[in-house]
């Protein structure tokens, strides 16, 4: 397996806040990796660094390229959804498809059209007329129609109702994912995607706290359930 | 190529005022031709010879297109100021950046839209509106309109001249366009003030501190000097003196409006160099921008 992302000692500060503080991690090809951590842990900054959207210190290679300097080439093989509502309100659905087809050499317009036909989205609608769920569906249709090697999703289901979330992840897993593709996503609702992930990277205070394959983590750690009575008893016994 | 066409179409999708405003202006002018009344008082003692008629004809052409170009300049001013700001305001910049389009290509598409696509579009539209206008006037007033003779050769010459002048003017205004783009990419709010106040303050400061007006002169030259350079003022000024000693000579109009001094003017090329530098900074800002 080859590494899609290799990050060594990433560091980035916003004023006095250290968003990334020496984070190192590797993402292998053909995995679905969850970047997990509380708000402000540095997830989004790490993603932005990977996508070349922000400058950071340290070594960083994505698909063999430096996102800080070769961003344009990188974007041919990397797709991302940064947040739910970033499609501009004035854009028509048909224009979105036309634009992607015009600028993206790996965009398959027919495929995007297929996705959209399964939804209630009409080609003539403007983004501002669509519901939040529909905007996400549209964005997903655009992204899934790109033959990309790396898909990056930042809190993709934020603000979506439960029904859409299920459909979202089902589509992702069934229609898109294969061994040549890698998906990196962040969320702070781990329970929603824990069955989906093959790997996890826990990030806290700008550092990687724990990383590895989900299976391996399951073997290394056990869940310990303790009632307060048991805990009190054990503590009492531990006293000299 | 295909990429650039798509990017420019994108601009016209988002900023519909770029093509709606010129269409409305042309439609209004045609409406004037359909329903308007004009009284032209011609001094009796002026007997217009053929040359005079041609001059009047040429002047009417200028008068017809001028409002359309003025409107275009206003529209372009606000377009350039808004285009890189709008994508940050609605956060769609992250969507555009998820496409394999470089910051340089994006900025270039906006500059091309403002300095080439829209001016050419307005030129074609003004030309068509002019033809419709003339046809309507001809039909409505028949012989009475013969006062202003239609002359195809003069008309073609005028159109060629306007197109040429337009292109030179756009090159001349490139630094202003680049400055507006820079503000659009950089300012967080109050874009209009950021675009306008620094030059105004610079002029005021110089006046107070040194009592001179070099910056003001320079800015005035950069904003309006092109028309003097093109010789439009003298040409039109001459032509306007209808009834005076020197009856206008359309031929002279063409002689006076001459390209070579403008193209040979180092100010034009220095301006373009300056514009290129501003564009480079703009591209850098868009690449590095990290609004959170």
Tell me: the pLDDT tens digits for A139-151?
Answer: 888 988 988 889 9
Q: Tokens 């030309």 identify what position?
A: B127
Nearest CB to A54: which of B3, B93, B290? Answer: B290
Q: Do A82 and B5 touch (CB under 8 A)?
A: no
Q: How far is B7 from chain A (nearest CA, A)?
A: 8
Asked if pLDDT for residue B116 goes beyond 90, the answer is yes
At A104, list the tokens: 């993206």
Q: Do A86 and B94 touch (CB under 8 A)?
A: yes
The answer to whether B6 faces chain A, any CB pair under 8 Å, is: yes
DSSP code at position A107: B
**pLDDT band for position B244 (cuts 50, 70, 90):** very low
Predicted complex ipTM exceeds 0.85: no
Residue A136 confidence (pLDDT): 83
Q: Which of A69-83, A180-194, B52-66, B276-290 has the largest mean confidence?
A: B276-290
Q: How far is A146 from chain B (nearest CA, A)?
A: 10
How many domains in chain B? 1
d(CA A161, CA A103): 32
d(CA B57, CA A157): 65
Instruction: Show residues of chain B in contact with A80, CB under 8 Å.
Output: 94, 98
Q: How far is A138 from chain B (nearest CA, A)?
A: 12
Ranges assigned E (strand) in A101-226: 150-154, 182-187, 199-204, 207-213
Burial class (CB in 10 A: 0-12, 13-18, 19+), B288: exposed
Q: Do B9 and A102 touch (CB under 8 A)?
A: yes
> How far, in Å, are A72, A96, A166, A212, B237 from residue B222 at the CA level?
36, 39, 60, 62, 21
**pLDDT band for position B237 (cuts 50, 70, 90):** low
Residues of A with CB under 8 A from a CB of B: 14, 48, 51, 53-55, 71-73, 75-76, 79-83, 85-92, 95, 98-100, 102-105, 139, 143
Q: How far is A154 from chain B (nearest CA, A)?
A: 12
Which chain B residue has the Cα nearest residue A44?
B292
Mean pLDDT of B235-247: 48
Q: Show me where the domains of chain A are located.
A: 1-74+149-155+180-240, 78-147
DSSP code at position A68: T
Least Cα distance to A148 among A132, A118, A172 occurs for A172
* Cα-only R_g, chain A: 20
Backbone angles phi, psi at A24, to 5 degrees: -130, 130
Least Cα distance to B7 among B134, B103, B78 occurs for B103
Mean pLDDT of A102-110: 91
At A138, list the tokens: 């549209």
Residue A155 confidence (pLDDT): 81
Nearest CB to B98: which of A54, A79, A88? Answer: A79
Mean pLDDT of B154-172: 84
For the question of whether the overall pTM of this predicted structure is more than 0.90, the answer is no
Which chain A residue has the Cα nearest residue B102?
A72
The answer to whether B193 faces chain A, any CB pair under 8 Å, is: no
Nearest CB to B92: which of A51, A87, A98? Answer: A87
Measured in whole angstroms, the distance separating CA A172 from the mean position of its chain's CA atoms is 12
**β A57-62/A3-14 pair status:** antiparallel
d(CA B275, CA B269): 10
Asked if pLDDT for residue B250 goes beyond 60, the answer is no
pLDDT tens digits for range A70-88:
888 888 889 888 765 589 9
Nearest CB to B94: which of A79, A83, A92? Answer: A83
Residue B246 confidence (pLDDT): 45
**pLDDT band for position B40 (cuts 50, 70, 90):** low
Q: Do B6 and A98 touch (CB under 8 A)?
A: yes
The answer to whether B99 faces chain A, any CB pair under 8 Å, is: yes
**pLDDT band for position B212 (cuts 50, 70, 90):** confident
Least Cα distance to A137 among A154, A151, A124, A156 occurs for A156
**pLDDT band for position B242 (cuts 50, 70, 90):** very low
Nearest CB to A55: which of B98, B288, B292? Answer: B288
Contact B279, B175 (CB under 8 A): no
Contact A213, A199 (CB under 8 A): yes
The answer to whether B264 faces chain A, any CB pair under 8 Å, is: no
Q: What is the DSSP string of B89-131?
A: HTSTHHHHHTSS--HHHHHHHHHHIIIIIHHHHHHHHHHHHHH
> How far, in Å, are A20, A221, B29, B38 from residue A210 at the CA level?
15, 12, 71, 83
Asked if pLDDT for residue B173 goes beyond 60, the answer is yes
Residue B283 confidence (pLDDT): 93
Residue B157 confidence (pLDDT): 80
* Structural domain containing residue B19: 2-37+45-288
Percentages helix, strand, coil for chain A (3-state, rounded to 5) are 35, 30, 35
User: Percent of chain B beyond pLDDT 90?
Assistant: 33
Residue B125 confidence (pLDDT): 93
Instruction: Show residues of chain B in contact with A151, CB under 8 Å.
Output: none
Residue B14 confidence (pLDDT): 94
Q: Do B100 and A104 touch (CB under 8 A)?
A: yes
The residue among B7, B16, B98 with the most chain A CBs within 10 A of its CB, best to mutate, is: B98
Residue B142 confidence (pLDDT): 65
Asked if pLDDT for residue B243 goes beyond 70, the answer is no
Q: How far is B72 from chain A (nearest CA, A)?
A: 22
Asked if pLDDT for residue A180 goes beyond 60, the answer is yes
At A190, list the tokens: 């781990």
Asked if pLDDT for residue B256 goes beyond 60, the answer is no
pLDDT tens digits for range A90-100:
999 999 999 99
Mean pLDDT of B55-70: 80
Mean pLDDT of A126-151: 88
Residue B175 confidence (pLDDT): 93
* Cα-only R_g, chain B: 22
**pLDDT band for position A192 (cuts 50, 70, 90):** confident
Asked if pLDDT for residue A26 goes beyond 60, the answer is yes
Residue B149 confidence (pLDDT): 64
Least Cα distance to A5 among A55, A65, A84 occurs for A65
Q: How many other CB atoms are there within 10 angstroms of residue A235's CB atom?
A: 9
Q: How many CB pairs under 8 A join A and B?
A: 78
At A45, list the tokens: 């900054």
Residue A92 confidence (pLDDT): 95
Residue B162 confidence (pLDDT): 83
Residue B174 confidence (pLDDT): 93
Asked if pLDDT for residue B245 goes beyond 50, the answer is no
Mean pLDDT of B147-170: 79
Q: Do B100 and A72 touch (CB under 8 A)?
A: yes
Of A10 and B240, more confident: A10
Mean pLDDT of B262-280: 87
pLDDT tens digits for range A160-169:
777 777 777 8
Mean pLDDT of B11-25: 94
Which chain A residue has the Cα nearest residue B14?
A90
Residues in a beta bridge with A139: none
Class of domain A1-74+149-155+180-240: alpha beta
At A191, list the tokens: 């329970």
Mean pLDDT of A206-230: 81
Instruction: Show residues of chain B in contact with A99, CB under 8 Å.
Output: 6, 9-10, 99
User: Percent of chain A beyond pLDDT 90?
Assistant: 15
Q: Which of A63-72, A105-114, A128-137 has the largest mean confidence?
A: A105-114
Q: Do A82 and B94 touch (CB under 8 A)?
A: yes
Ranges assigned E (strand) in chain B: none
Instruction: Show residues of chain B in contact with A81, CB under 8 Å.
Output: 98
Mean pLDDT of B187-207: 88
At B233, list the tokens: 């003022």
Q: How far is B74 from chain A (nearest CA, A)?
A: 22
Mean pLDDT of B87-100: 88
Q: How far is A52 from chain B (nearest CA, A)?
A: 9
Asked if pLDDT for residue B60 goes beyond 70, the answer is yes
* Close Cβ partners of B77 (under 8 Å, ≥ 6 residues apart): B180
Mean pLDDT of B183-205: 89
At A46, list the tokens: 């790490």
Side-chain half-sphere CA neighbours of A165 within 13 A: 15
Q: Do A88 and B87 touch (CB under 8 A)?
A: yes
Mean pLDDT of B60-85: 90
Mean pLDDT of B192-201: 90
Residue A208 confidence (pLDDT): 85
Q: Which of B119-123, B165-169, B197-201 has the largest mean confidence?
A: B119-123
Query: What's the mean per-residue pLDDT of chain A?
Result: 85
């Amino acid at each position: 397996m080859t590494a899609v992302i290799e990050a060594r000692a990433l560091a980035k500060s916003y004023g006095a806040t250290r968003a990334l503080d020496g984070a190192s991690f590797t993402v292998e090809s053909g995995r679905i990796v969850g970047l997990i951590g509380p708000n402000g842990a540095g997830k989004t900054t790490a993603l932005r660094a990977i996508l070349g959207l922000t400058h950071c210190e340290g070594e960083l290679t994505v698909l063999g390229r430096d996102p800080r300097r070769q961003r344009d080439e990188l974007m041919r093989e990397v797709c991302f959804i940064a947040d739910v509502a970033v499609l501009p309100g004035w854009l028509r659905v048909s224009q979105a498809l036309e634009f992607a087809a015009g600028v993206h050499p790996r965009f398959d317009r027919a495929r995007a059209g297929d996705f959209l036909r399964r939804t209630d989205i009409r080609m003539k609608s403007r983004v501002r007329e669509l519901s939040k769920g529909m905007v996400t569906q549209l964005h997903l249709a655009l992204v899934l129609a790109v033959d990309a090697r790396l898909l990056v999703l930042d809190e993709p289901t934020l603000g979506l109702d439960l029904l859409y979330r299920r459909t979202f992840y089902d589509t992702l897993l069934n229609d898109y994912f294969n061994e040549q593709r890698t998906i990196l996503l962040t969320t702070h609702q781990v329970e929603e995607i824990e069955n989906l992930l093959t790997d996890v990277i826990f990030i806290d205070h700008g550092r990687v706290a724990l990383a590895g394959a989900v299976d391996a983590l399951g073997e290394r750690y056990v869940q310990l359930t303790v009632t307060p009575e048991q805990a009190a008893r054990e503590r009492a016994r531990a006293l000299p | 190529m295909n990429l650039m066409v798509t990017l420019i179409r994108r601009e016209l999708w988002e900023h519909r005022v770029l093509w709606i405003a010129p269409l409305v202006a042309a439609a209004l002018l045609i409406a004037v031709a359909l329903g308007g009344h004009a009284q032209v008082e011609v001094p009796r003692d002026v007997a217009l010879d053929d040359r005079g008629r041609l001059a009047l004809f040429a002047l009417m052409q200028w008068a017809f297109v001028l409002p359309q170009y003025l409107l275009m300049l206003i529209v372009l001013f606000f377009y350039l100021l808004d285009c890189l700001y709008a994508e940050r305001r609605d956060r769609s910049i992250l969507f555009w950046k998820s496409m394999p389009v470089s910051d340089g290509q994006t900025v270039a598409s906006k500059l091309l839209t403002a300095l080439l696509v829209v001016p050419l579009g307005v030129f074609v539209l003004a030309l068509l509106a002019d033809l419709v206008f003339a046809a309507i006037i001809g039909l409505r007033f028949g012989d009475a309109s013969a006062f202003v003779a239609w002359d195809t050769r003069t008309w073609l010459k005028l159109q060629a001249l306007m197109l040429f002048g337009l292109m030179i003017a756009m090159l001349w205004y490139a630094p202003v366009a680049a400055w507006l783009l820079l503000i659009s990419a950089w300012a967080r709010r109050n874009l209009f003030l950021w675009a306008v106040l620094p030059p105004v303050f610079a002029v005021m400061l110089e006046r107070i501190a040194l009592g001179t007006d070099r910056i003001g002169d320079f800015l005035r030259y950069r904003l309006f000097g092109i028309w003097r350079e093109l010789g439009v003022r003298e040409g039109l000024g001459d032509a306007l003196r209808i009834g005076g000693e020197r009856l206008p000579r359309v031929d002279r109009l063409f002689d006076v409006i001459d390209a070579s001094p403008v193209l040979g003017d180092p100010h034009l090329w220095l301006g373009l160099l300056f514009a290129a530098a501003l564009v480079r900074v703009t591209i850098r800002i868009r690449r590095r921008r990290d609004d959170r």
